[in-house]
Structure 1
Amino acid sequence: MKVSIITVVYNGAEHIRDCIESVLNQTHPTIEYIIIDGKSTDGTVDIVQSYGTKVARFISEPDKGLYDAMNKGIRMATGDVVGLLNADDFYRHNRVIANMVALFEKTGSDAVYGDMLYVDRTDTQKLKRYWRSGWYREGAFKWGWMPGHLSFFAKRWLYEQYGLFRLDMKSAADYELLLRFIHKNKAKLSYMNEVTIVMRAGGISNSSVKNRLRANRDDRLAWELNGVKPYFFTLWLKPLRKLTQYITKPPELHQRDDL
């Protein structure tokens, strides 16, 4: 099974090498690695180009933001499965892709997802947050559930049939896409039940009341756009569920050789 991994980056020279190495060190033999750069000016381009043909596709040009760049990469992908890995982040161990592929082959699923760790930007041994996605049950989105979108590996045909990220959804674009694929169109899911991605803390924050209200509005729009209705409490339960991510401890590193 061929897997396309897409990294989008803009001025990410500080951490892009860790990200690239974590992909190139994967044990799965058939990985198409695509990097989409937003015309960086900090040396990112030189770092990526130093890997030569180990990076299958690389473009550096202006874009309309994170999700526009992701869409460019998805359109380029030729793999059976598509995964996303941001430039600040890295896979937790070198069998993540192999374990994911094994689960696809075992279950015949349309998509596979796992768990994520958020760590300090400079000290990656310092845990900030553990996103345990847990097992999916139909209707779980109505109870505030969603998997971390960077832990989400999807068959390429899902994007071809149901569409890419909506740029008008801004920071809720990942939520809207997962809602569309999983809740509305009933993609068959399998849970890896392991930490797949380590993410450096940062990015768009919903910590302030103003940002949370904006996010709540965007989340509500995601339901409306897909012609589905949440419960009256869904959009408030969603951020409340994240509170447990700050107190739950992750399991020790393991490599799931039992799939």
Structure 2
Amino acid sequence: MKISIITVVYNGERYIKDTIESVVNQTYNNIEYIVIDGKSSDSTLSIINQYKANISNVISEKDKSMYDAINKGLKIATGDFVLILNSDDFLVNCYVISEIVNLIQKNLGFEFYYGNLSILKGNTVSKRNTFQCSYSEILHSRHGTFIPHPALFISKKIAQKHIYNLKYLYASDFDYILNLAKTYESKFLQITVTVFRSHSESITSSGKINNERKLILKSNDLYKTNFIVRSFLFIRIWLYYKLIQYVNL
């Protein structure tokens, strides 16, 4: 089974080395690594080129947005499953792709799989557990937390058929996950995949995604649900999420 990993980056010299090394040091040897650089003006491309022998495809050209760059990667990816690895995140250890492949092979028949994240904030790492989640639960949570994009493996079928909506500059991954959950059956894998780096420069920390997220929720008819019902579902799903951080269910 081939796994394609796509990293898109623009002026990411601060963290890109950690991201690349977490991929090229994997023990699993059937990985296609694609790096899309948006014509960085810092030393990003120089750092990427240090690892070029271990990267399947490097593209450096201007793009419309990070999601435009991801779409470029999806068009050329040839793996059975594809992971989008952010340029400031990194795989949790050198065995994780091998472990993911073993879990997928034991649970064949799904078009996308996802696992858990760890969050790195400063020098502190904390695990974030998630669970098998439906489209309705993702929608009523109003957030992409429960199917984390940096721990999402999509099939070749999805990669060839679905692209990210360039209408959204910051929250297209949330839109993408909702569309997948609405269309396909998924499988949650009880494994931590990626370390998500939380820092002041990240899009998540900037708050830029909030307005776009509201538009995405509206386009999925969230607000047509009775206010009391959707409020109840919102509270229930987040209470469950909080609970599983402390109790292994």
TM-score (norm 1): 0.80
CA RMSD of aligned residues (A): 3.2
How do residues 143-154 of structure 1 correspond to structure 2 at under 5 angstroms? 143-144=140-141, 146-154=146-154
May I ask how many residue pairs the two structures share in their alignment? 239
How do residues 34-45 of structure 1 correspond to structure 2 at under 5 angstroms? 34-45=34-45
% identity of equivalent residues: 32
How do residues 17-56 of structure 1 correspond to structure 2 at under 5 angstroms? 17-56=17-56
Q: Which residue of 2 aligns with 1:110?
A: 111
Residues 249, 204 of structure 1: alpha-carbon distance in 2 compared, 3 angstrom cutoff: farther
Residues 103, 211 of structure 1: alpha-carbon distance in 2 compared, 3 angstrom cutoff: closer
How do residues 56-75 of structure 1 correspond to structure 2 at under 5 angstroms? 56-75=56-75
Tell whether the 8 Å contact from 2:164 to 2:176 is kept in structure 1 after alignment: yes
How do residues 171-250 of structure 1 correspond to structure 2 at under 5 angstroms? 171-183=170-182, 185=183, 187-202=184-199, 203-205=202-204, 212=210, 214-224=211-221, 232=227, 233=230, 237=234, 241=238, 248=245
Residue 63 of structure 1, CA deviation:
0.7
Tell whether the 8 Å contact from 1:182 to 1:188 is kept in structure 2 after alignment: yes
SS at match of 1:166: coil
Residue 206 of structure 1, CA deviation:
7.0
Which 5+ residue runs of structure 2 have no aligned equivalent? none
| Aligned amino acid, residue 216 of structure 2 | D
| Aligned amino acid, residue 80 of structure 1 | D
Tell whether the 8 Å contact from 2:27 to 2:98 is kept in structure 1 after alignment: yes
Residues 42, 103 of structure 1: alpha-carbon distance in 2 compared, 3 angstrom cutoff: same
Matched, 1:83 2:83: yes
Residues 235, 73 of structure 1: alpha-carbon distance in 2 compared, 3 angstrom cutoff: farther
Which 5+ residue runs of structure 1 have no aligned equivalent? 252-259
Residue 155 of structure 1, CA deviation:
0.5
Tell whether the 8 Å contact from 1:142 to 1:231 is kept in structure 2 after alignment: no
Tell whether the 8 Å contact from 1:149 to 1:174 is kept in structure 2 after alignment: yes
1:231-255 CA deviation, whole Å, 9 max, x = no partner?
A: 64279939x939967x94699xxxx
Higher mean C-alpha displacement, 137-146 vs 62-71: 137-146
Residues 49, 216 of structure 1: alpha-carbon distance in 2 compared, 3 angstrom cutoff: closer
Aligned mates of 1:92, 1:250 — CA distance in 2: 22
